[in-house]
């Protein structure tokens, strides 16, 4: 049997964990940083967030969209 190489864990660099904050729809300017130029939510691989905060970020962005603070879609030219 071959031995599998064990990868060392990635260092945690979640913005919300480091600053002891939670994503909130009221701070929609900060949430806009986690949207692509076309208005899509960026995945964890790009944002570097932990799973818990990525889920909460998604929920906060969706709430801000329904309140009209963030766009659902950005027109591509």
Region for residue 38 given its phi and psi (left: phi exceeds 0; alpha: psi -120 to 50; beta: otherwise): alpha
CATH of the domain at 26: 4.10.640.10
Q: What is the pLDDT of residue 9?
A: 58
Q: Which residue has the tokens 């913005």?
A: 15
Q: pTM for the whole thing? A: 0.80
Q: Please, what are the averages of pLDDT over each run of 10 residues along the chain (77 residues)?
A: 68 84 94 93 90 96 96 83
The number of folded domains in the chain is 1
Per-residue tokens: 33 = 């940083």
Alpha helices in the chain (DSSP H): 15-18, 28-31, 44-47, 51-66
Q: What is the pLDDT of residue 25?
A: 95
The verdict on residue 71 lying in a domain is no
Range of the domain at 50: 15-66
């Amino acid at each position: 049997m071959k031995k599998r190489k064990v990868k060392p864990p990635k260092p945690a660099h979640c913005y919300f964990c480091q600053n002891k904050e939670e994503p909130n729809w009221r701070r929609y300017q900060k949430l806009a940083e986690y949207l692509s130029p076309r208005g899509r939510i960026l995945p964890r691989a790009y944002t570097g967030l932990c799973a818990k905060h990525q889920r909460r970020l998604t929920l906060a962005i969706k709430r801000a969209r329904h309140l009209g603070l963030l766009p659902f879609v950005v027109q591509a030219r």
